[in-house]
Amino acid sequence: MIRYIQGYNFKDKKALIRVDFNVPLDNNNQIVDSTRIDKTLPTIQKVLADGGAAILMSHLGRPKHGYVDSMSLKHLIPYLTDKLDTIVRFASDCIGNEAEENSKLLQNGEVLLLENVRFHIAEEKGDSTFAQALAKLGDVYINDAFGAVHRKHASTYGIMQYMSDKLAGCLLQEEITNANKLLTSVKKPFTAIIGGTKITDKIQTMEALLDKLDNLLIGGGVANTFHQALGGRLGNSVVEAEQHELALTILHQATEKGVNIVLPTDAVIGDVWSSNARTDLAPNNSIPDDWMALDIGPHTQSLFANVIERSKTILWAGPIGAFELATFSHGTQAIMQAVAKATKKGAFSLIGGGDSATAAAQFGYEKQVSYISTGGGALLTYLANPDLPVIRALGSNYNYQLDRN
């Protein structure tokens, strides 16, 4: 079984905590959305309250060739200092002499933030020497980075073979508990809303959940691929033309299993990707040349909302339009409103991380849904197969039976 931090005493211990501080920063390196930091604060505070010290390691962005100033974790120090109300030291490298010296000098009640682990290519390679170098900095390992739990990287997976005490933090426990509600105790009707750009990012989750779903609502660029696979004309819309067979397979499987699969009927189209674009309405399977589908139209909004508001369990992964452009955000807002209404009536609603979480925050719905995950890809990967190597290494022993009622 996974050991959680609640039953562990961190007095005089240096806890090496893998957090997910991959937060968006503006051009002035100021935090735009602090959700991922805020949600791991209880884990850090537990360590400090027990009389221990916390050593934080994380990635930020996707650096390709070493140090990038805009992806340095040093920019998070003022926020962490304010929230934790304690000394937050910083090591300009996550391994090596400076990190080791800072770790030795760290006093109980203090925090050490290590520099971005992905400044080392060894992190993503899961390099054992790099993992050992990280492990020597602390006495006990805590994973509280759900957003990276599907990665077999050195700081998420490799490090655990060199740490005798391995624990899951508060956020990881919370994420697993909520994700498991879609695997163990689904209330019917169960509706999944799948959006975003690529069908390939969602395919495993769609296939894994088909036996449990009552309704599958498809929007965004994913819907474009389905429509094109069915013979539709999509103009300049985002599509994955090489995934037609995959889309048709999903349609066939859904039909066989009695799942109500709903594709958009009308689209708000634009001539360019801009809030200042010329706009019009068109059938989703007949987008004019030189135009692109950028949002669902009013008929689809109503169609989707009617299904959602009758649901008892809802998963939403991926926006159903270009919500970041004000002109094309109305469909995503309408669906968010429908999810909020269903939740108020007693439905369990789980919003996937990434753009879906950003949309929920942008339109003020964070408190009107059951749970917003911090991990987009991680959540979908977990739902497709909960037996993830990182979870298993932490000591997972979940024995659940998939609902097929």
Q: Which of 318, 380, 315 is nearest to 348 (CA)?
A: 315
* Model confidence, pTM: 0.88
> Are 58 and 18 a contacting pair, CB within 8 Å?
yes
Which pLDDT score is estimated for 400? 29
**pLDDT reading at 405 higher than 80:** no
Distances (CA, A) of 265 to 171, 205, 246, 330: 39, 24, 21, 16
Domain 186-384 in the same topology as domain 5-173: yes
Residue 101 token pair: 């010296």
Tell me which amino acid residue 199 is: I
How do the domains of the chain map onto residue ranges?
Answer: 5-173, 186-384
Residue 345 token pair: 């009536």
Q: Which fold has domain 5-173?
A: Rossmann fold (3.40.50)
User: Considering the chain, what percentage of its residues have pLDDT values greater than 90?
Assistant: 84
**pLDDT reading at 399 higher than 60:** no
Which pLDDT score is estimated for 203? 85
DSSP string, 50-106: TT-EEEEE---S--SSS--GGG-GGGGHHHHHHHHTS-EEEESSSSSHHHHHHHHHP
Give the bridge partners for 317, in sequence order: 194
* 401 pLDDT tier (thresholds 50, 70, 90): very low
Q: Which of 315, 312, 304 is nearest to 351 (CA)?
A: 315
Q: Which of 274, 271, 270, 252 is nearest to 261 (CA)?
A: 252
Average pLDDT score, the chain: 93
What's the angle, vertex CA 145, arms to CA 141 and CA 146, rounded to 5? Answer: 130
**pLDDT reading at 29 higher than 80:** yes
Q: Distance (Å, rounded) from C-alpha 281 to C-alpha 330?
A: 13
Across the range 80-90, mean pLDDT stands at: 97
Half-sphere exposure of 98 (CA within 13 A, CB side): 10
| Residue 42 preceded by cis peptide, ω within 30 | no
Q: Distance (Å, rounded) from C-alpha 165 to C-alpha 47?
A: 14
Summarised one tens digit per residue, pLDDT across range 163-205 is 999 999 999 999 999 999 999 889 999 999 999 888 887 888 8
User: Considering the chain, what percentage of its residues have pLDDT values greater than 70?
Assistant: 98
Which pLDDT score is estimated for 198? 85
Summarised one tens digit per residue, pLDDT across range 37-78 is 999 999 999 999 999 999 999 999 999 989 999 999 999 999
Summarised one tens digit per residue, pLDDT across range 270-316 is 999 999 999 999 999 999 999 999 999 999 999 999 999 999 999 99
What's the angle, vertex CA 175, arms to CA 196 and CA 1, rounded to 5? Answer: 135
Largest Cα–Cα separation, the chain? 67
Say which range, 97-101, 150-154, 205-209, has the weakest mean pLDDT: 205-209
Q: Distance (Å, rounded) from C-alpha 41 to C-alpha 20?
A: 11
Which pLDDT score is estimated for 327? 96
Alpha helices in 137-213 (DSSP H): 170-184, 203-209
Which pLDDT score is estimated for 372? 94
Which pLDDT score is estimated for 403? 32
* 398 pLDDT tier (thresholds 50, 70, 90): very low
Residue 393 token pair: 């290494």
Question: Look-up: residue for tokens 């299993």?
Answer: 257
Q: Distance (Å, rounded) from C-alpha 350 to C-alpha 370?
A: 6
Which pLDDT score is estimated for 334? 96
Summarised one tens digit per residue, pLDDT across range 346-368 is 999 999 877 888 889 889 999 99
Q: How far is CA 95 from the centre of its chain?
A: 27
Which pLDDT score is estimated for 41? 98
Summarised one tens digit per residue, pLDDT across range 224-243 is 999 999 999 999 999 999 99
Helix (H, G, I), strand (E, B) or coil at 234: strand
Q: Distance (Å, rounded) from C-alpha 143 to C-alpha 160?
A: 10
Helix (H, G, I), strand (E, B) or coil at 191: strand
Which pLDDT score is estimated for 137? 98
Residue 157 phi/psi, 5° resolution?
A: -130, -60
> Are 23 and 76 a contacting pair, CB within 8 Å?
yes
Which pLDDT score is estimated for 397? 35
Residues with catalytic annotation? 36, 198, 354, 377
Which pLDDT score is estimated for 353? 73
Classify 186-384 by CATH class: alpha beta
Residue 378 token pair: 């991680």
Q: Distance (Å, rounded) from C-alpha 6 to C-alpha 167?
A: 10
Q: Distance (Å, rounded) from C-alpha 76 to C-alpha 37?
A: 9
**pLDDT reading at 344 higher than 70:** yes
- Cβ within 8 Å of residue 85, ≥6 positions away: none
